């Protein structure tokens, strides 16, 4: 994989925010042509797609790691780079051997984060397994939706860290946490996992986890990438399904230690990674629209009429060949901000018939309460109440300069 | 890129190997040959070895960007982060060994986390303020940006353990807090939100396992991959402690 260039695209978020420019092989600043208003400051997924489009037009710089573009932060000046973008500078120096105050940085879009995770309630507790809490990248907690924007991970760390941690400690102090589990059941499940590990270690002739993993990586990069289409996604699903079967026959070669054993870790994790890859590919294949980071060339519209819903994936039985998909409706009638045009390119949205109804309802509530002189907390509460969902100690109203201080 | 036209070098990477969980095993050197690639770091080279030569090779990496601090090891005898070490800056013969002083998990993998957790609990590296219960809906106390920058500078420590491995004092005093510990104390001492007094700090590090144990060899400063100002912070703490004692 293109590690060094990939890394650099991890750089761009802060660099773009600070005023870095994206340039093509001719040193031409191309983003204003695609996004005249937001230019380099367009959202992460939009910039990734524009970069890919521009590379496809033959405007990328050829390298042995594939085509790339340039990020120019020299215009920010050495002082700014060395103080505010110090980590960026260190990465450029240590991995690319370049000085970003003098030279352009090679960049191209890459997978950086996965959206989706364990479906949780607002408390962070799983909707299906009592007492299992998750937050951050592991969870589907609805802080971010079909897209992920710069700074989301900070919000998740800070907000989920505060709220979910508090919900967990409340749960532990409540009677609900007094789970009674038969030790026989615990033993049964430990044994199942132990048998899996033993099988990986004792199998003599089997698949090499590294080969399966590299194949999975290539499929995901080529066929489930920044731009997607039905044919490629179908191909990806078919091949991942086959890899999933082959992964059941992985054998750990040479290193048979059950203690700290990287070969065993790789084997154990590769099986699970392939399941997740298959889940992502199947969800993308079935979702015949474009939304957020999911961009279908054969379905460029965002289809709120049919697809304003979460994809829920489950593996019902241990030996299932494919995951089971279901969908969870996202009720527009409860929204404070009904889904509108996102503001990039042409508006291709197929709107849901509920959207204008809810929009006028929200507008009416707002107008009515404002005329009664209600404050923003009361208006918020009328449109979408949330305060009772917070842990007790966070239910107070924040002090804000110029408002209540 | 003229490097591209030349035939790539064949690196000979010798690794000190030992699995403490295997009663049959004993520490020994093993050499692997790896074809160098452009932009190759030791992270890439070690993964090549694991994937193509020996999948049992133990080493730690998480972020591969010099931020998580888990890939510290001895590279040709010097503690550093493997992910930030470009092979082109090294000779073809490279020797790797685990950092000394930390618990060995196996081969190049060491348990720095356990040691660092002990250190953080001992130095109580969090804000102490008994008089004010934290109230999240209140506005935070304001801080001068220059001071925030100064604190951030010290907060950049990634707890990789290189300074501990490069420390002469800790070889003789196993309870020495090391530069990583002193840097943390300096960080909280700077922070106006931490209400610990100079006496409190003196109680904690005003002894030979603390700031007075340092022999000023400054191996820590030489090897710190984040270029933290360890030398000046140790000197600062020492002056502060002396002043407090007088």
ipTM of the complex: 0.84
Domain match, A34 and A151 both:
no
Average pLDDT over residues A325-332: 95
Average pLDDT over residues A309-321: 93
Answer yes or no: are the C-beta atoms of B15 and B32 closer than 8 Å.
yes
When the pLDDT of each residue in chain A is averaged and rounded to a whole number, the result is 90
Q: Please tell me the total number of residues recorded for chain A in this structure.
A: 405
Position B196 pLDDT exceeds 70: yes
Give the number of other CB atoms < 10 A from CB of residue A45. Answer: 19
The pLDDT assigned to B5 comes to 62
pLDDT tens string A346-357: 888 999 999 999
Lookup: tokens for B130: 């008994």
Domain match, A263 and A318 both:
yes
Please state, for a pLDDT cut of 90, what percent of chain B lies above it.
83
pLDDT tens string A109-164: 887 777 889 999 999 999 999 999 999 888 999 887 788 777 788 888 889 989 99
Of A326, A360, A384, the residue that ends a domain is A326
Give the number of other CB atoms < 10 A from CB of residue A72. Answer: 18
Identity of the residue in B56, B86, B138 whose CB atom sits nearest the CB atom of A97: B86
Average pLDDT over residues B164-192: 95
Q: Which residues contact B89 (CB under 8 A, 6 or more apart)?
A: none
Of A152, A177, A202, the residue that ends a domain is A177
What CATH number does the domain containing A339 carry? 3.10.20.820
Q: Which residues of chain A neighbour B110 with C-beta distances below 8 Å? A: none
At B81 the three-state DSSP class reads strand
* Helix H or strand E encompassing A381: helix A376-383
Domain match, A377 and A356 both:
yes
User: Which carries the bigger pLDDT value, residue A261 or residue B132?
Assistant: A261
Lookup: tokens for B80: 């550093």
The vertex-B239 CA angle with B233 and B242, nearest 5°, equals 140
Domain count, chain A: 4
Among all residues of chain B, which has the CA nearest to that of A403? Answer: B139
* b/e per residue A222-242 (b: at least 16 CB within 10 A): ebbbbebeeebbebbbebbbe
What CATH number does the domain containing A27 carry? 3.90.700.10
Lookup: tokens for A315: 């593996």
- The shares of helix, strand and coil residues in chain A, as percent rounded to the nearest 5, are 50, 10, 40
Domain match, A348 and A293 both:
no
Domain match, A10 and A106 both:
yes
Domain match, A341 and A321 both:
no
- Inter-chain CB proximity B55 and A252 less than 8 Å: yes
CA-CA distance, A95 to A89, in Å (whole number)?
A: 10
The pLDDT assigned to A100 comes to 93
Domain match, A139 and A108 both:
no
- Inter-chain CB proximity B39 and A95 less than 8 Å: yes
- Inter-chain CB proximity A257 and B22 less than 8 Å: yes
pTM: 0.89
What CATH number does the domain containing A266 carry? 1.20.58.100
Give the number of other CB atoms < 10 A from CB of residue A34. Answer: 18
Domain match, A217 and A306 both:
yes
Domain that holds residue A17: 2-113
Domain match, A203 and A312 both:
yes
Give the number of other CB atoms < 10 A from CB of residue B55. Answer: 22
Domain match, A139 and A212 both:
no
Q: How far is CA A400 from CA A86, A141, A165, A298, A403, in A?
A: 31, 27, 25, 47, 6
Q: Which of B56, B57, B64, B84 to mutate to test the interface with A (most CBs of A within 10 A)?
A: B56
Average pLDDT over residues A245-251: 95
Q: How far is CA A336 from the centre of its chain?
A: 23
Domain match, A192 and A217 both:
yes
C-alpha distance from B202 to closest chain A C-alpha (Å): 33
Chain A residues bordering chain B (beta-carbon distance below 8 Å): 3-4, 7, 10, 64, 83, 87, 90-91, 94-97, 162, 210, 252-255, 257, 259-263, 266, 393-394, 396-401, 405
Domain match, A215 and A165 both:
no
Position B48 pLDDT exceeds 70: yes
Of A141, A157, A177, the residue that ends a domain is A177
Q: Enumerate the β-bridge partners of residue A125.
A: A133
């Amino acid at each position: 994989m293109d590690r060094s260039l990939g890394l650099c695209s991890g750089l761009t978020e802060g660099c773009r925010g600070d005023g870095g420019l994206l340039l093509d092989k001719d040193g031409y600043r191309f983003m204003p042509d695609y996004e005249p208003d937001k230019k380099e400051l367009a959202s992460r997924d939009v910039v990734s797609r524009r970069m890919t489009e521009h590379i496809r037009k033959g405007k990328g710089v050829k390298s042995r790691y594939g085509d790339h573009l340039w990020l120019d932060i020299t215009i920010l000046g050495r002082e700014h780079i060395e103080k505010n973008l110090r980590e960026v500078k260190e990465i450029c120096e240590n991995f690319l051997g370049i000085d970003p105050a003098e030279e352009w940085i090679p960049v191209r879009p890459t997978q950086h984060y996965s959206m989706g995770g364990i479906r949780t309630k607002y408390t962070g507790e799983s909707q299906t397994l009592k007492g299992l809490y998750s937050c951050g990248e592991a969870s589907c907690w609805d802080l971010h939706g079909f897209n992920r924007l710069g700074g989301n991970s900070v919000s998740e760390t800070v907000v989920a860290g505060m709220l979910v941690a508090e919900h967990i400690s409340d749960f532990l102090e409540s009677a609900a946490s007094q789970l009674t589990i038969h030790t026989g059941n615990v033993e049964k499940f430990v044994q199942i996992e132990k048998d899996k590990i033993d099988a990986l270690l004792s199998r003599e002739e089997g698949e090499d986890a590294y080969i399966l993993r590299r194949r999975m990586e290539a499929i995901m990069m080529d066929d489930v990438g920044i731009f997607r289409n039905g044919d490629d996604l179908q191909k990806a699903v078919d091949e991942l399904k086959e890899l999933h079967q082959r992964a059941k026959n992985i054998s750990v070669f040479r290193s048979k230690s059950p203690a700290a054993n990287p070969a065993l870790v790789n084997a154990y994790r590769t099986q699970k990674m392939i399941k997740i890859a298959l889940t992502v590919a199947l969800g993308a294949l079935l979702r015949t629209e474009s939304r957020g980071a999911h961009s279908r060339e054969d379905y460029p519209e965002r289809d709120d009429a049919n697809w304003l819903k979460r994809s829920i994936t489950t593996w019902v039985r241990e030996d299932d060949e494919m995951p089971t998909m279901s969908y969870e409706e996202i009720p527009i009638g409860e929204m404070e901000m009904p889904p509108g045009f996102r503001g990039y390119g042409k508006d291709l949205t197929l709107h849901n018939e509920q959207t204008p109804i809810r929009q006028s309802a929200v507008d009416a509530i707002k107008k009515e309460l404002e005329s009664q002189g209600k404050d923003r907390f009361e208006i918020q509460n009328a449109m979408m109440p949330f305060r009772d969902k917070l842990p007790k100690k966070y239910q107070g109203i924040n002090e804000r300069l110029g408002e209540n201080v | 890129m003229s490097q591209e036209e030349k035939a790539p070098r064949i690196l000979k990477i010798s690794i000190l190997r030992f699995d403490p969980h295997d009663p049959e095993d004993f520490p020994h050197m093993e050499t692997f040959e790896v074809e160098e690639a452009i932009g190759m770091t030791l992270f890439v080279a070690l993964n090549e070895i694991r994937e193509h030569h020996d999948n049992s090779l133990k080493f730690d990496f998480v972020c591969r960007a010099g931020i998580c601090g888990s890939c510290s090891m001895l590279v040709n005898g010097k503690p550093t982060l493997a992910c930030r070490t470009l092979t082109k800056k090294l000779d073809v013969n490279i020797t790797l060994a685990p950092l000394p002083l930390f618990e060995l998990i196996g081969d190049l993998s060491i348990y720095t986390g356990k040691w660092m957790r002990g250190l953080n609990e001992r130095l109580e590296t969090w804000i102490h303020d008994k008089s004010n219960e934290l109230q999240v809906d209140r506005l935070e106390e304001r801080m001068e940006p220059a001071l925030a920058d100064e604190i951030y500078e010290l907060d950049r420590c990634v707890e990789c353990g290189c300074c501990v491995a490069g420390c002469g004092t800790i070889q003789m005093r196993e309870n020495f807090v090391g530069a990583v510990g002193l840097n943390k104390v300096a960080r909280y001492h700077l922070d106006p939100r931490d209400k610990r007094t100079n006496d409190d700090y003196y109680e904690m590090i005003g002894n030979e396992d603390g700031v007075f144990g340092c022999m000023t060899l400054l191996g820590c400063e030489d090897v710190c991959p984040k270029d933290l100002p360890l030398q000046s912070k140790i000197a600062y703490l020492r002056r502060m402690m002396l002043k407090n004692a007088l």
